[in-house]
Amino acid sequence: MIPIRQYWNLLRRYLRHQRTRIAGLGVLLACGIGLQVANPQLVKVFIDRALGGEPVDRLVPLAVAFLVVAFGQQAFTVAAAWVAGHVGWNATNELREDLASHLLRLDMGFHKQHTPGEMVERIDGDVTALSNFFSQFAVQVVGNAALVVGVLALMIVESPVVGLPIAALAAVTVGLLGWLQRVATEWWRQERASSARYFGFVGEAITAAEDVQGNGAGGYVRSRGARIHREWLPRSVRGWHGWSLSWSANTAYFGAANAIVFALGAWSFARGDLSLGSVYLLAHYAEMIRHPIERIREQVDDMQKAGAAVVRVRELLDIENALADDGSRQLPPGSLSVELHAVDFAYSDGDRDGERVLHGLNLHLEAGRVLGVLGRTGSGKTTIARLLTRLYDPEAGEVRLGGVPVREVPLQALRTRVGIVTQDVQLFRASIRDNLTFFDDTVPDNRLWAALERLGLDGWVRSLPDGLDTMLDAGGGGLSAGEGQLLAFTRIFLEAPGLVILDEAASRLDPATERLIHAATEHLLGGRTGVVIAHRLDTVQRADDILIMEAGRIVEFGRRAELAADPESRFSGLLRSGIEEVLA
């Protein structure tokens, strides 16, 4: 069962900015309900007067009043639905924004354990399940509940003999619907979990489509998708079974209510206790109750789905970042020194889970110097970059930048001063301008052109069809890998960081842009501390110092010129052999 408090907390948090609109919605609902219960009273009077021999000219005003009230009631209903829709979508859009912002702040350990497709389903799918709950709750639950209470009160006033049994039947039906909602909420939660798992799988399959086709793994992908579907199907059937039970309960109410009204109404009419108009009024009210209960039932179905979504949304919002972000110190201006003190690290997020990848690292890189990091794949090179950008924290030891422990610096401030470019540059379906500024429209064009000119890239951008307004496809479609790197270099240059990390950034260069990349690297690293992680020896020619990693340990560190001149050094041996593949 999902406590009503959890629903209320979401409603209160995301509806508090729309108090005026909600107040207007309440007025519209009250007017609509008042007109809805008034119209049958006009029909009752019309029937009784017509049977009593009232002249036609005395009946026409009643018919006109009926039409006016009916049109007015429909107008208020439409207006209430329109306002409720706006309220709901504004609330859920705000919730989506909060969820996305929260997930972006979480550590890499969380993101390693969850696929992008799953997160899209959690942010969009679960919140969409809440959208109808937000937009229709007031109209379909509060409004219809008020209508049911008002109609039952009028029925009891008109005839306690008929009204009281109908009221008791309605109370039993609503109680039964509430019990079914509590039972079915868990069924829908399991269905939503299977849905998220499936969309996560689809996201993985689409991303890896080239590898899947190229390696003949289509059969495996189809088989895995079928297994997930076999798990999803019974959960979906069970969820819809809850819907069918509530539908059956409402249908049973309608049949029983009609039987009570016709039996007791006919008996009261035969005794002379009720006029024919009164019997019609009671029958109409009994039918009228069916519709709001049906709406409440539908909302209960949505609440079943929303209840599961509420749980999953709360689970996401309650996940805490594994990286504490309570620091208050600032990094010094200018280039930043890099220090590692007895750093141990092991992944615990499914990526080589539990295997220690760094062992007691000690390193001191002076500010303004460029460090070239070499080593085989899996030696720990990229892990060092992740620790310097604080995507992870070490298990033991300490990382310092500019003499300040990175744990004591706010994450946002740290990552503003540390820039990183990897071989996989993320580009968005947007203009070059938006890709360079990450959609910050406060960055003036003259600043962008100055950065591009400083890196020697202004001529390349001007040669594009629309310059800064050239649209890029998602993932950088239409650009070579090297051109994507050029844009990433400019992003970093705009931030003016004190430490620049190039993690295999030159591993996929194409000949057409290799010269531009090397020139841009010179400008980017000029006057800054740099860490260049590479497989290729020629990539570290710009380095002042060389660090060679092996199995998570530093096996050699020193000035590049000195190591190159020392025939006993590993670096000198690599230069003499000319075999770069030993690093791959």
Q: Which pLDDT score is estimated for 352?
A: 53
Highest mean pLDDT among 100-114, 218-232, 402-416: 402-416
Q: How far is CA 282 from each of CA 45, 148, 339, rounded to the nearest angstrom?
A: 13, 13, 84
- Residue 581 pLDDT exceeds 90: no
> Which tops the pLDDT comparison, 187 or 42?
42
Task: Say which range, 230-244, 272-286, 509-523, 547-561, has the weakest mean pLDDT.
Answer: 509-523
Mean pLDDT in residue range 513-541: 78
Q: Which pLDDT score is estimated for 559?
A: 93
List CB contacts of 423: < 8 A, sequence separation 6 or more: 481, 503, 504, 505, 507, 508
Task: Say which range, 41-55, 302-316, 523-537, has the weakest mean pLDDT.
Answer: 302-316
Q: Is 456 left (phi over 0), alpha (psi -120 to 50) or beta?
A: left
3-class secondary structure, 229? helix
Q: Which pLDDT score is estimated for 1?
A: 46
Q: Which pLDDT score is estimated for 397?
A: 93
- Residue 216 pLDDT exceeds 80: no
Distance CA 69, CA 35 (A): 6
Strands 370-375 and 545-550: parallel
Residue pair 517/549 in contact by the 8 Å Cβ criterion = no
- Residue 310 pLDDT exceeds 60: yes
User: What percent of the chain has pLDDT above 70?
Assistant: 86
Residue pair 86/94 in contact by the 8 Å Cβ criterion = no
Q: Which pLDDT score is estimated for 218?
A: 77
DSSP one-letter code for 468: G
List CB contacts of 530: < 8 A, sequence separation 6 or more: 369, 370, 371, 499, 500, 501, 502, 524, 542, 543
List CB contacts of 268: < 8 A, sequence separation 6 or more: 159, 161, 162, 274, 279
Mean pLDDT in residue range 230-255: 77
- Residue 40 pLDDT exceeds 50: yes
What secondary structure, in 3-state letters, does 485-527 show?
HHHHHHHHHHHCCCEEEEECCCCCCCHHHHHHHHHHHHHHHCC
Mean pLDDT in residue range 546-566: 91
Q: Which pLDDT score is estimated for 558?
A: 92
- Residue 137 pLDDT exceeds 80: no
Average pLDDT value over all residues in the chain: 80
For residue 202, the tally of other CB atoms under 10 A from its CB is 18
Q: Which pLDDT score is estimated for 510?
A: 56
Q: Is 409 left (phi over 0), alpha (psi -120 to 50) or beta?
A: beta
- Residue 541 pLDDT exceeds 70: yes
Strands 404-405 and 396-401: antiparallel
DSSP string of 206-222?
HHTHHHHHHTT-HHHHH
Q: Which pLDDT score is estimated for 341?
A: 95
Tokens coding 17: 């900015």
Q: Which of 115, 98, 114 is nearest to 314 (CA)?
A: 98
Q: What are the pLDDT digits (tens) for 252-293?
A: 877 888 788 888 888 888 888 888 888 887 888 887 777 777
- Residue 212 pLDDT exceeds 90: no
Distance CA 8, CA 11 (A): 5
